[in-house]
């Protein structure tokens, strides 16, 4: 028996299925520079597009003179809004129900806005021609502060909709107001805020930043006028949705449009939306009849394509004197820039901000979000998070700290006292979500023990004494965070984008010799789908992951899906993969039973084969079954072995984690060093521990960047102050600390394999941990809250304001 | 991020380069490592019609040390400065400074000549050259002349170099004693929020030589003559360090930028300088 048991283990290991730290199959090409990105696509006769962009944040466009540019040899066309208007493509719908100018239509509303599109024989000529287009502007007053948007002297930005009192998300109270979104019980929550023994209040600002993927956005459009077919390669996190949108916008039938996402060099939410460059490359290809490429540069990416965050979150949190939380109130002023181009599910104009009760059992809560137009770039995308979950997690994890200060209580203890308990799951939150599963106390205690939390607090207290005694100029901060994510959008009954339900899909073909091809509706941007989806399938169908090819991103071949963002690939497409695999196995069972001459119910699945119950020597492997399915006539069973599954998730998944950051801060220079960072993640079933660790390291490093310096800053005239990587902080290995990773495993009860998604957790949880460490360092000196980013001068200013510089 | 059109020239000798520059005049720019000029050309802030690349001139790439004098050819890269053991023996502060410039990839291309000639107040080498009391050799149509680093910088991007001159060599005396280049920056690759070059020579308990210069705290590098004299005459102790820092801080005129407001930079500069003085003295 032991020999058999060992062989089962060997066979299981050979599959490289769930739980295996399988090396990423993608990396062979990426590490050798053999990837195939949009800018690698070169087609015969291809032209290049480049934008004339506005240098003003708000101005009327009085005239555009393209004649000088057209005279430059090699320039083929210069498109303006006037050229797009007959096609009704001078404006385009946004994913958030607003519309956005493709090219400036009478005015510009942010610095870097697209004004004209130059098409030339090469990108160098195009760049020269951009300088030759003369645009005559009349400058208008600029609005950069959303809190001034509704003052009587505020300029009206969106003249196109200034008289519309109803927007895509209900009533608008002012021309610069986009929507008000309310969740929870306002009256009950406000009553608690009046009556509760303890109420802590804080304005928490999550600054404007940017996903800044290594590859910027771009597209290549090729209109074949002979067969009427448009092919569009682009940096798309949701290629199928792009196809549908392109069809609706252009009037080209959907079967005549092929959208391809080739290798994508990072997305982080930046590549979910539709950008003017995509539209202009399509129009230019239709006009010229040859392929047209558009690829933005880094400055264009930072200043014009989708930003993230910019949420001013005003909060109140009420508790009993011994720290039991009674209620949470939040009013958020959301700066959306010039157009509402958030990429949220239609019914959620502030995304899943209503997960802001976090990991805590808060009986009563109220959330209101006001979306505001300003003279800044549009966006508001989910930068490595599920729709505004980073904002929500940052808000609650700061409010818990602020409450702990008010209560004069240890912040770790306050958290533990209020966690949703294990036995409360599934848990209905006050703001409308049903948390599927969790075991927060176990994770939290493990984290506190791992870092010797009590020892750290003792050391910190000693250091405060030493500081006060003039023995040191350094302070120590302990940043705590227990976050709960909400990912895997989402159930079709309440989640859609432009009407498309947010299901996802997988189609599997088993080849006669027993290897397989699986295609999904998602698209990897670095997540390693070709590695991990093959592992899910390997465990389901008993074929080694090495013999399964994963394909995504070509709408002509892949099944329809809503794409990859919001940590949805594993929860949704991963589930579809498992379900399609189970269909394969169900058919394989019929074939195996026929081959073994027994009844279907007399055989059982064992790793990679069906075995006759009680007769382990009689079996058929999946490979044998696959071959038989193609070469034998099996009564009542169709030839071949294929399956397709479209998966509509019954609920979201709720990954969580416990992060602790220890930071040393030089009070005089404002320089801070991360001494320790411990990250415990619970993402349910772990598919590939190595990829999880890589995701956590990457996400934490982005969180470090955001918390410690990364921002898109504007001056009062609406000029972008941080338009290059000199000023926009991207950490190098030098700035990146060591991370200590850990895990607990609480499978999702409703997901076929119990997986919850992990890619975005470290960004969601990391930002509060870093920020709380900075804030915590100054707690002993009377600080309750200081805003991110915690770069040197702001940390210095915090210390200075507290009188720590003498 | 694409430059305007330009003609590219690669002379193979210094006289040839000088002649070319004289002929092309204002329409030409000399390019060394290109790490300042090329980005500004990509932003189209600089649009020279001719680029004269010095990469092909072998005679500009060398480090010579003899008779107590160090001579460094303008095209010597930061990586070559770091790698030279002889230079480290003669002036260890050069390696300490060069290691704090950008990142290894940039240092393989960036040259000492480009760094000092460009006149960017953010560059690290100009203050170091003032600290070392270096001389810059300029080659022009009328021959060679030598200008002191302490008299070279006039304003941001404005120097004593005539448009038709090429900076060919840097000369300074070997320095023994304590040294430190202290730099606060936001990240690898950033210019200094504040930086200080300090050289201190110990003679018993006295300080027989002191030299201090600061980076990115005004529109030129700043040689702190009075502060240097305070340490040299009065010795290096807490009281004199404080006085020297106060004196140096009276010279600086930092501006508000993304690194922070001037008020913060003044404070950070005082910390960076005091710490560099202590480090240099500890090594003296």
Contact A525, A30 (CB under 8 A): no
Chain-chain contact of A669 with B44 (C-beta, under 8 angstroms): no
Contact A674, A661 (CB under 8 A): yes
Chain-chain contact of A670 with B268 (C-beta, under 8 angstroms): yes
Whether residues B155 and B186 fall in one domain: no
Assigned token pair, A787:
């805003």
Q: What residue ranges of chain B have pLDDT lower than 70?
A: none
Whether residues A759 and A692 fall in one domain: yes
Whether residues A630 and A657 fall in one domain: no
Of the candidates A509, A557, A549, the one whose C-alpha atom is nearest the C-alpha of residue A25 is A549
Assigned token pair, A365:
């809560």
Whether residues A393 and A508 fall in one domain: no
Residue B195 sits at φ, ψ, to 5 deg, of -145, 150
Chain-chain contact of B259 with A713 (C-beta, under 8 angstroms): no
Q: Could you report the per-residue pLDDT of A370-381, keeping only the tens digit for each? A: 999 999 999 999
Task: Please determine, for residue A3, whether its predicted confidence score (pLDDT) is greater than 60.
Answer: no
Average pLDDT over residues A328-339: 98
**Has residue B133 been placed in a domain?**
yes
> Three-state SS for A479?
strand
Residue A50 sits at φ, ψ, to 5 deg, of -150, 150
In this structure, what CATH number is given to the domain that contains residue A435?
3.30.365.10
The domain total for chain B is 2
Assigned token pair, A463:
């250091």
Active site residue A237: yes
Residue A664 sits at φ, ψ, to 5 deg, of -105, 130
Whether residues A416 and A548 fall in one domain: no
Q: β-pairing, A177-184 with A198-209?
A: unpaired
Of the candidates A426, A419, A427, A421, the one whose C-alpha atom is nearest the C-alpha of residue A397 is A419
In this structure, what CATH number is given to the domain that contains residue B268?
3.30.390.50
Residue A548 sits at φ, ψ, to 5 deg, of -120, 120
**Has residue A184 been placed in a domain?**
no
Whether residues A474 and A583 fall in one domain: no
Look up the ipTM and state it: 0.95
Of the candidates B172, B222, B233, the one whose C-alpha atom is nearest the C-alpha of residue B200 is B233
The rounded mean pLDDT for chain A is: 96
Contact A47, A118 (CB under 8 A): no
**Pairwise CA distance, residues A697 & A763, whole Å:** 10
Output the DSSP codes for A10-58.
Answer: HHHHHHT-TT--PPPTTHHHHTTT----GGG---TT-EEEEEEE-SSSS
Contact A537, A524 (CB under 8 A): no
**Pairwise CA distance, residues A371 & A158, whole Å:** 14
Q: Could you report the per-residue pLDDT of A563-619, keeping only the tens digit for each? A: 988 888 888 999 999 999 999 999 999 999 999 999 999 999 999 999 999 999 999
CA A295 to chain centroid: 22
Residue A674 binned pLDDT confidence (cut-offs 50, 70, 90): very high
Q: Could you report the per-residue pLDDT of A711-767, keeping only the tens digit for each? A: 999 999 999 999 999 999 999 999 999 999 999 999 999 999 999 999 999 999 999
Q: Could you report the per-residue pLDDT of A23-41, keeping only the tens digit for each? A: 999 999 999 999 999 999 9
Domain boundary residue among B173, B191, B217? B173
Q: Could you report the per-residue pLDDT of A131-144, keeping only the tens digit for each? A: 999 999 999 999 99
**Has residue B218 been placed in a domain?**
yes
B261 in A contact zone (CB under 8 Å): yes
Of the candidates A100, A237, A525, A589, the residue annotated as catalytic is A237
Residue A2 binned pLDDT confidence (cut-offs 50, 70, 90): very low
Residue A451 CB partners (closer than 8 Å, separation 6+): A660, A662, A676, A678
Whether residues B256 and B273 fall in one domain: yes
Of the candidates A280, A385, A495, A506, the residue annotated as catalytic is A385
Residue A298 with chain B: CB contacts under 8 Å: 1
CA A623 to chain centroid: 38
B267 in A contact zone (CB under 8 Å): yes
The CA–CA distances, whole Å, from B48 to A205, B56, B57, B179, B270 equal 44, 20, 21, 39, 39
User: Residues of A at the B interface (Cβ-Cβ below 8 Å)?
Assistant: 123-124, 127-128, 131, 297-299, 668-671, 709, 713, 721-722, 726-727, 729, 731-732, 734-735, 791-794, 796-797, 800, 805
Whether residues A604 and A737 fall in one domain: no
In chain A, the residue whose alpha carbon lies closest to the alpha carbon of B183 is A669
Domain boundary residue among A623, A647, A671? A647
Q: Could you report the per-residue pLDDT of A463-507, keeping only the tens digit for each? A: 999 999 999 999 999 999 999 999 998 899 988 888 889 999 999
Query: How large a percentage of chain B has pLDDT more than 70?
Result: 100
Q: Could you report the per-residue pLDDT of A612-646, keeping only the tens digit for each? A: 999 999 999 999 999 999 999 999 999 999 999 99
**Which range marks the domain in which residue B238 is found?**
181-283
Assigned token pair, B54:
């010095």
Task: Please determine, for residue A789, whether its predicted confidence score (pLDDT) is greater than 80.
Answer: yes
**Pairwise CA distance, residues A431 & A45, whole Å:** 55
Whether residues B208 and B137 fall in one domain: no
Residue B188 with chain A: CB contacts under 8 Å: 732, 734-735
Contact A648, A573 (CB under 8 A): no
Domain boundary residue among A285, A304, A323? A304
**Which range marks the domain in which residue A222 is found?**
38-140+216-264+271-304
Residues forming beta bridges with residue A374, ordered by sequence position: none
Task: Please determine, for residue A223, whether its predicted confidence score (pLDDT) is greater than 70.
Answer: yes
In this structure, what CATH number is given to the domain that contains residue B67?
3.30.465.10
pLDDT at position A202: 98
Range with the poorest average pLDDT among A247-256, A583-592, A784-793: A247-256
Task: Please determine, for residue A651, whether its predicted confidence score (pLDDT) is greater than 60.
Answer: yes
The domain total for chain A is 3
Residues forming beta bridges with residue B147, ordered by sequence position: B136
The CA–CA distances, whole Å, from A66 to A69, A75, B7 equal 5, 11, 27
Q: Could you report the per-residue pLDDT of B73-91, keeping only the tens digit for each? A: 999 999 999 999 999 999 9
Of the candidates A148, A204, A193, the one whose C-alpha atom is nearest the C-alpha of residue A174 is A148
pLDDT at position A1: 44
Task: Please determine, for residue A660, whether its predicted confidence score (pLDDT) is greater than 90.
Answer: yes
The CA–CA distances, whole Å, from B107 to A67, A437, B31, B55, B127 equal 44, 52, 15, 15, 18
**Pairwise CA distance, residues B177 & B200, whole Å:** 6
pLDDT at position A499: 84
């Amino acid at each position: 028996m032991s020999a058999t048991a060992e062989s089962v283990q060997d066979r299981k290991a050979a599959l490289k299925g769930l739980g295996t730290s399988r090396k990423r199959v993608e990396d062979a090409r990426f590490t050798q520079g053999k990837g195939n990105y949009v800018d690698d696509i070169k087609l015969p006769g291809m032209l290049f597009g480049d934008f004339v962009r506005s240098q003003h944040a708000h101005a009327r466009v009085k005239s555009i003179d393209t004649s000088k540019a057209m005279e430059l040899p090699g320039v083929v066309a210069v498109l303006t809004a006037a050229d797009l208007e007959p096609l009704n493509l001078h404006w385009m719908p946004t994913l958030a129900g607003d519309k956005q100018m493709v090219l400036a239509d009478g005015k510009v509303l942010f610095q870097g806005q697209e004004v004209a599109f130059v098409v030339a024989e090469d990108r160098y000529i195009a760049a020269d021609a951009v300088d030759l287009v003369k645009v005559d502007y009349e400058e208008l007053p600029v609005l950069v502060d959303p809190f001034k948007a509704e003052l009587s002297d505020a300029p009206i930005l969106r003249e196109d909709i200034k008289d519309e009192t109803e927007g895509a998300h209900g009533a608008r109270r002012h021309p610069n107001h986009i929507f008000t979104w309310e969740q929870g019980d306002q009256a009950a929550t406000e009553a608690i805020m009046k009556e509760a023994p303890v109420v802590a209040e804080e304005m928490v600002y999550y600054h404007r930043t940017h996903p800044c993927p290594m590859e910027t956005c771009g597209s290549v459009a090729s209109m074949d006028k002979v067969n009427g077919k448009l092919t569009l390669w682009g940096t798309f996190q949701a290629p199928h949705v792009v196809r549908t949108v392109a069809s609706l916008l252009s009037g080209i039938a959907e079967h005549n449009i092929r959208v391809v996402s080739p290798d994508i060099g990072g997305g982080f939410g930046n590549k979910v939306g539709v950008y003017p460059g995509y539209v202009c490359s399509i129009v230019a290809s239709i006009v010229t009849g040859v392929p047209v490429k558009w690829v933005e540069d880094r400055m264009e990416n930072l200043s014009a394509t989708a930003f993230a965050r910019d949420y001013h979150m005003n909060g109140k949190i009420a508790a009993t004197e011994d720290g039991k939380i009674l209620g949470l109130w939040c009013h958020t002023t959301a700066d959306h820039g010039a157009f509402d181009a958030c990429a949220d599910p239609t019914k959620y104009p502030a995304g899943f901000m209503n997960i802001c009760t976090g990991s805590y059992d808060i009986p009563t809560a109220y959330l209101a979000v006001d979306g505001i137009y300003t003279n800044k770039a549009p966006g508001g995308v989910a930068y490595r998070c599920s729709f505004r979950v980073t904002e929500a997690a940052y808000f609650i994890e700061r409010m818990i700290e602020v409450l702990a200060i008010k209560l004069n209580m240890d912040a770790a203890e306050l958290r533990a006292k209020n966690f949703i308990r294990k036995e409360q799951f599934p848990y209905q939150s006050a703001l409308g979500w049903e948390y599927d599963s969790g075991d927060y106390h176990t994770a939290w205690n493990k984290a506190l023990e791992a870092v010797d939390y009590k020892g750290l607090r003792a050391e910190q207290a000693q250091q405060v004494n030493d500081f006060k005694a003039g023995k040191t100029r350094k302070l120590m901060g302990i940043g705590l965070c227990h976050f709960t994510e909400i990912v895997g959008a989402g159930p079709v009954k309440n989640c859609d984008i432009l009407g498309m339900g947010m299901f996802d899909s997988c189609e599997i073909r088993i080849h006669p010799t027993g290897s397989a091809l699986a295609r999904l509706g998602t698209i990897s941007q670095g997540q390693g789908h070709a590695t991990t989806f093959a592992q899910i399938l390997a465990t389901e169908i008993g074929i080694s992951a090495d013999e399964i090819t994963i394909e995504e991103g070509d709408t002509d071949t892949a099944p329809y899906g809503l794409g990859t963002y919001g940590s949805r690939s594993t929860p949704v497409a991963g589930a579809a993969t498992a379900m399609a695999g189970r269909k394969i196995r169900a058919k394989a069972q019929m074939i195996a039973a026929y081959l073994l001459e027994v009844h279907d119910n007399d055989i059982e699945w064992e790793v990679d084969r069906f075995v006759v119950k009680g007769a382990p020597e009689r079996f058929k492997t999946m490979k044998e079954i696959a071959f038989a399915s193609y070469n034998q006539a099996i009564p009542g069973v169709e030839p071949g072995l294929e399956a397709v599954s479209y998966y509509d998730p019954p609920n979201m998944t709720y990954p969580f984690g416990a992060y602790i950051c220890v930071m040393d801060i030089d009070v005089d220079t404002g320089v801070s060093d991360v001494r320790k960072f411990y990250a415990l993640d619970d993402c349910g079933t772990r598919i590939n521990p190595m990829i999880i660790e890589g995701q956590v390291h990457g996400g934490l490093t982005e969180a470090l960047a955001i918390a410690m310096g990364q921002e898109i800053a504007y001056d009062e005239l609406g000029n972008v102050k941080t338009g290059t990587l000199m000023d926009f902080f991207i950490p190098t290995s030098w700035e990146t600390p060591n991370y200590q990773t850990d895990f607990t495993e609480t499978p999702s009860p409703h997901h076929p394999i119990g997986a919850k998604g992990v890619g975005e957790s470290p960004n969601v949880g990391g930002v509060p941990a870093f920020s709380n460490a900075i804030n915590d360092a100054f707690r002993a000196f009377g600080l309750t809250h200081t805003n991110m980013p915690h770069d040197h001068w702001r940390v210095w200013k915090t210390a200075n304001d507290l009188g720590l510089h003498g | 991020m694409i430059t305007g059109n330009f003609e590219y020239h690669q002379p193979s000798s210094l006289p040839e380069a000088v002649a070319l520059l004289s002929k092309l005049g204002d329409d030409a720019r000399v390019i060394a490592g290109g790490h300042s000029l090329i980005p500004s050309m990509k932003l189209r802030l600089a649009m020279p019609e001719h680029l004269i690349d010095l990469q092909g001139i072998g005679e500009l790439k060398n480090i010579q040390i003899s008779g107590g004098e160090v001579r460094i050819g303008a095209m010597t890269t930061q990586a070559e400065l770091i790698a030279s053991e002889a230079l480290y023996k003669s002036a260890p502060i050069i390696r300490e400074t060069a290691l704090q410039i950008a990142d290894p990839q940039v240092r393989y291309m960036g040259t000492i000549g480009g760094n000092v000639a460009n006149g960017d107040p953010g560059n690290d080498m100009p203050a170091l050259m003032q600290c070392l009391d270096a001389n810059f050799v300029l080659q022009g149509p009328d021959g060679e002349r030598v200008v002191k680093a302490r008299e070279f910088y006039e304003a941001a991007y404005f120097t004593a170099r005539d448009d038709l001159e090429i900076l060919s060599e840097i000369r300074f005396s070997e320095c023994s004693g304590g040294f430190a280049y202290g730099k606060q920056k936001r990240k690898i690759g950033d210019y200094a929020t504040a930086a200080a070059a300090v050289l201190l020579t110990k003679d018993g308990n006295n300080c027989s030589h002191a030299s201090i210069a600061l980076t990115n705290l005004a529109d030129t590098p700043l040689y702190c003559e009075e502060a240097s004299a305070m340490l040299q005459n009065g010795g290096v102790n807490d009281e004199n360090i404080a006085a020297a820092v106060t004196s140096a801080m009276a010279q600086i005129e930092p501006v508000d930028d993304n690194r922070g407001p001037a008020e913060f930079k003044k404070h950070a500069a005082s910390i960076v300088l005091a710490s560099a003085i202590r480090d240099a003295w500890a090594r003296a």
